[in-house]
Amino acid sequence: MTDKRINKLKRKLQEARYRLLTREPELAAPLVEMLFVTNVDVRRMSTNGSCIYFDASWLEKLDDNSLDFALCHQLMHIRLGHLSRPQFYKGDRFHFACNIVVNSSLIRYDFTDDKLPGIGEIHHETFYPKVEGCELTPYEAFQMTPLDPSTLSDAQRRNLLLDSDEWWDRPNARTEDGVLILSPDDPDPDDLIPSERIRGIIERVCKGFRKQEMPEVYRPEADDDELDDLIFEYTTRPSANLKEAIREIRGSKDRDAENYDSSTLCERVLHRSKITTHDWQSLLNHFIMDETRDYSFTPPDRRLQDLDFFLPDYNESETPRLNVLFMVDISASLKDQEVAMAAAEICAAIEQFGGMLSGSIGFFDSEVRRVVPITSAENLLQLKPYSGGGTSFQCIFDYVREHMSDNVPSEIVIMTDGKSDFPEYKASSGIPVLWLLTNNRVRIPWGQAAYFRK
């Protein structure tokens, strides 16, 4: 590793440490006494109580929020005594339960993001039943989370485990397994020196912080039969409820299929998917009407939303307003097949209107990545949008307000899996919105819904 890269990593860690000491000194104080070591074999990040080991390539790409969360995640593992887990609790399933407890505990420190770039979804509740992790011991969370990440693919495992417990069992390891990046002896730059008040808190907290003495944790006494009952208790749950929990788990592990992932921009290739596309001539003829701009019509019957699509017909006009903005979700939660389905739908719309369709096609994840005019289906398939990680619907309406004031779309069609918070209706500025969803279990709070037909 070059000196230039080491210095860059050191500065990034020093800045993160300073931010956390300023923000949460009681939690972050132990960072000033810890070694930071990069190791090519560690999966993202791990700690043994006195060192934090990390993958340099991964850490370099993290934004400030993700790095701060990752460091505090390690500190909370130490504080809660997870590193000294009993021998028979080693493994990914118990580690995942520990992560749920840690993530939930960090919410009180204002780490409230549901997803973070480079990390993925932040799990803070058990699955069956749903309980906040901070209310449980890791052993209780273990029983309520019937999932072993070690049985999943690498991508799915990464989505569930944001860090590694490899160094939990190596308390005496220091720098021999990697490259030392930052140590307590390294002086901080002048612009990163904490205030006198913060230094006082650091000194007080660090006096009680013993690197090799983990806190006492609850260690259940159990013979082999009792342990078997503990581990497999969830299999006796009512099957319908258990299946529902498993479906939810499987849905969450597919989100942010990162391949690193969410903080880097990954190229998505558009291609036609073999699906039954909607009749866009009919869809737009019925949905897009001159008088529906302000949604003053009666809301659609929600009982009909499970159909392929629901098309209200409150107006007599059959001439659609064709200045349509198609927005395609290319976040990490959507698989390539689903992005291809969206591309196929837009191609079908362009071809069915025979060149009469005007407007734009855009791509978004946590922000709008690209918006281009509608030309032809062939040109659409030549586009190679770049996606990052999370999903934000708000960014679509912000983009329209800031960049399309001279050519406001008559309608917005958003193609997505619906896995994000919906903004308030007022964000649409009265523009009719059609949500074309890959998941027919999603219920939209406003606008109208249609579903992909695979």
Q: What is the pLDDT of residue 47?
A: 95
Q: Name the pLDDT band for 410 (thresholds 50, 70, 90).
A: confident
Q: Is the pLDDT of residue 356 over 80?
A: no
Taking residues 391-414, report their average pLDDT. 90
Taking residues 121-147, report their average pLDDT. 89
Pair of tokens at residue 419: 């896995």
What is the pTM (predicted TM-score) of this model?
0.50
Task: Report which of residues 59 and 312 the model is more confident about.
Answer: 59
Task: Report which of residues 454 and 111 the model is more confident about.
Answer: 111
Beta bridge partners of 221: none
The arrangement of strands across the sheet holding 35-38 comes to 45-47, 51-54, 35-38, 179-182
Q: Is the pLDDT of residue 239 over 60?
A: no
What contacts 193, CB < 8 A, 6 or more positions away?
A: none
Q: What is the pLDDT of residue 260?
A: 35
How many Cβ atoms are within 10 Å of 63's Cβ, its own excluded?
Answer: 13
CB-side neighbour CA atoms (13 Å) of 222? 16
Q: Name the pLDDT band for 230 (thresholds 50, 70, 90).
A: very low
What contacts 285, CB < 8 A, 6 or more positions away?
A: 318, 320
What contacts 320, CB < 8 A, 6 or more positions away?
A: 284, 285, 288, 289
Task: Report, in angstroms and rounded to the nearest whole number, the Rg of the chain calculated over CA atoms.
Answer: 25
Query: Which residue type, as a one-letter code, is found at position 440?
Result: N
Instruction: Indicate the SS3 state at residue 47.
Output: strand
Task: Report which of residues 53 and 247 the model is more confident about.
Answer: 53
If you write DSSP's letter for every residue of 102-169 in order, what string do you get?
HHHHHGGGT---SEETTTEE---B-SSS--BGGGS-HHHHHHT----GGGS-HHHHHHH-SS--GGGG
Query: Which residue type, as a one-letter code, is found at position 323?
Result: N
Give the whole-angstrom CA distance, residue 102 versus residue 79: 10
Q: What is the pLDDT of residue 213?
A: 43
Q: Is the dihedral of CA 354, 357, 360, 365 positive or negative?
A: negative
Domains of the chain, earliest start first: 3-257 (no CATH), 266-451 (3.40.50)
Would you report the helix, strand and coil content of the chain in percent, each value rounded to 5? 45, 15, 45
On whether the CB atoms of residues 137 and 143 are closer than 8 A, the answer is no
Q: What is the mean pLDDT of the chain?
A: 78
Give the whole-angstrom CA distance, residue 173 versus residue 47: 10
Give the whole-angstrom CA distance, residue 346 versus residue 348: 5
Q: Name the pLDDT band for 268 (thresholds 50, 70, 90).
A: low
On whether the CB atoms of residues 397 and 415 are closer than 8 A, the answer is no
Give the whole-angstrom CA distance, residue 106 versus residue 122: 11
Q: Which residue has the tokens 């990052």?
A: 388
**How distant is the alpha carbon of residue 57 from its chain centre?**
19
Pair of tokens at residue 101: 């407890």
